[in-house]
Amino acid sequence: MAYDKTDMTTPPDLTKSLGTGAVPEILPVYQDFLPPCNQGCPAGENIQAWLDLAQAGRHEEAWQVIMRDNPMPAIHGRACYHPCEPVCNRQSVDGAVSIHAVERFLGDRANELGWMPKSDALPSGRKVLIIGAGPAGLSAAYHLRQFGHEVEIREAGAEAGGMMRYGIPAYRLPRNILDAEVQRLEKMGGKITLNHKVEDAVKEKQQGGFDAVFVCVGAHISKRTDIPARDASKVLDAVSFLRGMESGEQPVIGRRVAIYGGGNTAMDAARTAKRLGATDAMIIYRRDREHMPAHDFEAVEAEEEGVKINWLSTIKEMDTDATTITIERMELDENGRPQPTGVFDTLQADSLILALGQDIDSNLLQGASGVELKPDGSVSVDAGFMTGHEGIFAGGDMVPDDRSITIAVGHGKKAARYINAYLLQSSYVPPDKHPLVEYEKLQLWYKTDADQSVQATLKIEDRVGGFDEVISGLTEEQAVFEAQRCYSCGNCFECDGCYGACPESAVIKLGTGNRYKYNYDLCIGCRACFLQCPCHAIEMVPADDARILAIREESA
């Protein structure tokens, strides 16, 4: 039984245990809990651990901790939508820790100084084929190399990166950063074969003598919609449009460009159109801002750059001879779904870019026995990422899940662990997670205001004139300060609060980095240490359980 730290009174069942010579019924124990940032990270990073090292200026050690889970921190510090931050307990005080900005600093420092991840794995003699050089494929290749396996990525495109290269504009993710993270994998012995489209996964597995295959082709096929148009050449898809920016095959879009959709790809397409000289870039989206799939900061940045967003609108027709788009106004019903109103407006546009989502080309698995394909091209996998065909695994956009580069990187890491177990004819069992520690459990007696560090941005007029990176990184001083804002939720950081609060000298300091332990012969179970612990790294448990835990720790 655990006790609520927010209850500052002594529980009734403890009063009889506090007298002289009495035996306490509950005792404190030091425990590790799960911080919400760690839980919120799709890549499974131990965020709290590397923030602790970063705040001490131990930057390479911090980077090495990140690299245990995520091989592309400089990319993620820019292009991840950092779901770890909205759940940060500091959000309830003066703003979340800017985790992505510290990660970006560490990733950039590693690229600048040429750091390489540590590995002591011996060659296993086993080979894995990875199909697709996007975030899932690069992540899986990295982790499989760390296990000692030989890996080869086969990629249909002319360069590695997948949607990180062909879907995220350079103003968000500079190509030299992407290239540096990819080149590190190659230095580790990961082989990347470009301009090689795999048509049959089973055949390539057999012909190449591979022991396993990980299929992680990105979602590159744009969804279409039936919009009557007299000139189909004026209707483009967003994926092809953004890909053309990378390959140099830029379509003619004119001065007035409409973008149909409300996701991040729509925002990127609109902002790119502005950079190509469009005087008017107009997003048309059938729902309101609250229900858009794009992240709000993407819409804010787009609007700052002059993009106009037409909320609650849907396209009915495009008369391209007259460059006129007819839109119908929508309204949301009680379930938040858009409904037509019968009210129509017109917009003038030279071209229309469709950003309505993407599907997967899964033809390479059509002939694989046992593989179950869904209507959108995604593949059914078991809990270990294996398809119904022995030795063929899948992840990233290929499997049903939300789509982001961080989710894909997480898939690559997890799949690598299951593939490693498969190759070694063993099993992988994910470790149990510690209980989550939320803001209400903290006892912030040292609470001080320390506002989140602000990343500098390009002036608006400088943004739309080219593809220079819009958001700058933190200085070393800022990065250390930002890391120091971490509360270390759920895990002891040796503040000595328990040591100073104990009236019976029952808390024993074990030296820097070793935390503390209790002398239960002296402890009276008064909860003073429990109430003083700012990060909730102490729990009150039944006395017998506490003593058993202490014996186990002593014998470990």
For every residue of 427-474, DSSP letters joined together read: ---PPPPPPB--GGG---TT----PPPPPPB--HHHHTTS---SB---
CATH 1.10.1060.10 boundaries in the chain? 36-117+444-479
Is the pLDDT assigned to residue 52 strictly greater than 60? yes
Half-sphere exposure of 370 (CA within 13 A, CB side): 11
Mean pLDDT of 389-404: 93
| CATH of span 36-117+444-479 | 1.10.1060.10
Rounded to whole angstroms, how far apart are CA atoms 249 and 61? 43
Taking the C-alpha atoms of 214, 220, 221 and 225 in order, what is their torsion angle to the nearest 10 degrees? 130
Burial label for 179, CB within 10 Å (0-12, 13-18, 19+), is middle
- 508, 82 Cβ separation under 8 angstroms: no
Question: pLDDT tens-digit profile of 341-362?
Answer: 999 999 999 999 999 988 888 8
Where in the chain do CATH 3.30.70.20 domains reside?
12-33+491-555
What pLDDT shows up at residue 3? 45
Residue 211's contacts (CB-CB under 8 Å, 6 or more residues apart) are 126, 127, 128, 391, 423
Question: Which fold, 12-33+491-555?
Answer: Alpha-Beta Plaits (3.30.70)
Which residue intervals of the chain bear CATH 3.50.50.60?
Answer: 127-220+360-423, 223-356
CATH for the stretch 127-220+360-423: 3.50.50.60
- Return all residues near 532 (Cβ < 8 A) that are at least 6 apart: 443, 445, 497, 498, 500, 501
Task: For residue range 417-476, list pLDDT tens digits in order.
Answer: 999 999 999 999 999 999 999 999 998 876 677 889 999 999 998 999 899 999 999 999
Are 102 and 57 spatial neighbours (Cβ–Cβ below 8 Å)? Answer: no
Region 360-367: mean pLDDT is 89
pLDDT of residue 228: 67
Work out whether the CA dihedral 124, 128, 132, 137 comes out positive or negative.
negative
Q: Work out the average pLDDT over 33-57.
A: 97
Indicate the pLDDT class of residue 227, thresholds 50, 70 and 90. confident
Token couple for 405 = 């580069």
Query: Each residue of 466-486: pLDDT tens digit?
Result: 999 999 999 999 999 999 999
CA 158 centroid distance within chain = 26
* Closest of 241, 259, 108, 72 to residue 169, by C-alpha: 241
- How high is the pLDDT of residue 320? 61
CB atoms within 10 A of CB 224: 11
At residue 321, the pLDDT reads 63
At the fourth CATH level, which superfamily is domain 223-356?
Answer: FAD/NAD(P)-binding domain (3.50.50.60)
- How does residue 229 score in pLDDT terms, banded at 50, 70 and 90? low
Q: What is the CA radius of gyration of the chain?
A: 27
